[in-house]
Chains A and B, each alone.
Chain A
Amino acid sequence: MTLLGMDNLALTHTAAFIGGALAMGLGAIGAATGEGYTASRASEAIARSQENAGDIIKNMLVGQAISESASIFSLVVAILLLFMDITDPGIAKAASLLAAGLCMGFGAIGSGVGAGIPAGRSCLAIARQPAISGRITTNMLIGTAVCQTPAIFAMVVALILLFKPTGDLAAFPTCAALIGAGLSTGLAAIGSGYGGGMAAGASCEGVSRQPETATAVTTTMLVGQAVAQTPSVFGLLISFVLMFRSFPESTALSASVGLLSAGLCMGLGGIGPGIGNGMTAEGAVRWVARRADYAGDLMRIMLVGQAVSQSTAIYAMVVSLVLIFVV
């Protein structure tokens, strides 16, 4: 079976090149924005406290390096797409390579922006409390590392899509399922990456304002970030189902569109709850720093609030599963 009268090798190469361009083009958005934010906060911090410029610049560069990693993942996937050997060309392979590019491109946006937030806030924090700059940088490193998780999920899915043998799969509807798999993890990663960054940013500020509450602040940040990652885990789950379930051959348009729609539904549906959970965690972390004696109450209200905000991601997952298994 061929598409648009193109031979399969040309089609597969076309998809790989478009996928590579999208991976790097979309993947550059997040890191560039996040690092710009970090640099702006570092400039502000140096203006407030010139004598600590060395520590602030060091912290800025470390933070930016982590924020950069999301777009380095994109670069790796893009280079693989441009130069890989295509051994089993076909419609399913073409879709798989395009999906790998989309997944990594979208998936790097949230983590890049998100990691820039704690990096920038920690520069301001060092200007405020230079005496504990080591503690602040450590807290920033933990926070930014967690922000990268959604981008890592996207990279895992992109690499599976790159190297998955598609030779014996039915071209339709498998091609739509694979693009859906890429969109599900890629889009859902946007919210979780950004949300995790909001929580980490508040914790850097909190540690500098009330250094004695640092342990409670870091703990609340990690719990809040973990919950904010959930939508991207749902996205990963739907991607794995779409990638590894074998679908019976069907050239009906509705069979293909249904699977594409399942990926799109979970991907889009994960964005809002990821950001919302991050906002909640940011509020909780900020107030744990100020009222550490009520850390338990604040943690409880944060988790209840996040659970409710999570509900729409769960609806999106249910609709995606219905689209895959029922209709």
Chain B
Amino acid sequence: MAIEGVDLVKAAALLGAGLSMGLGAIGPGVGEGMAAAKACEAIGRNPKEAGLLTRTMLVGQAVAESTGIYSLVIALLLLFVV
């Protein structure tokens, strides 16, 4: 199995895309889950504020999502641009 330069670079880009999105998905998944768990707790303590708490949770999760989106962007750049 002969490996040429261009082939090696492409292989590295594909592996990089998989690792970028795969590893990058771990943090937001756990972090957003934590935010949602605490939102459940907060609604349990104060059910009247459910609307405000849901909004706060979603804003917090959206920020936590950002690193997952960076990973997706980098993965897509590695797949289609570089």
Q: Which residue numbers of A lie inside 8 Å of B, CB to CB? A: 172, 191, 195, 231, 251-254, 256-258, 260-280, 282-284, 286-288, 290-291, 294, 297-298, 301-302, 304-306, 308-313, 315-316, 318-320, 322-323, 326-327
Cβ–Cβ contact B26 & A280, under 8 A: no
A253 vs chain B, min Cβ distance (A): 4
The total of chain B residues at the interface (CB under 8 A) is: 54
Cβ–Cβ contact B65 & A323, under 8 A: no
Cβ contacts under 8 Å, A266 to chain B: 22
Q: Which residue numbers of B lie inside 8 Å of A, CB to CB? A: 1-3, 7-8, 10-12, 14-15, 17-19, 21-41, 43-45, 47, 50, 53-54, 57-58, 61-62, 65, 68-69, 71-72, 75-76, 79-80
The one of B22, B32, B37, B43 in contact with A265, judged by C-beta atoms closer than 8 angstroms, is B22
- Given A265-B22, A305-B57, A312-B65, are A298 and B29 neighbors across the interface (CB < 8 Å)? no
Cβ contacts under 8 Å, A264 to chain B: 15, 18-19, 22
Cβ–Cβ contact B19 & A272, under 8 A: no
- Given A267-B22, A279-B34, are A286 and B41 neighbors across the interface (CB < 8 Å)? yes
Apart from A283-B40, A301-B54, 6 more pairs, CB < 8 Å: A254-B8, A269-B22, A286-B41, A294-B44, A319-B76, A323-B17
Cβ–Cβ contact B65 & A311, under 8 A: yes
The one of B28, B36, B44, B54 in contact with A272, judged by C-beta atoms closer than 8 angstroms, is B28
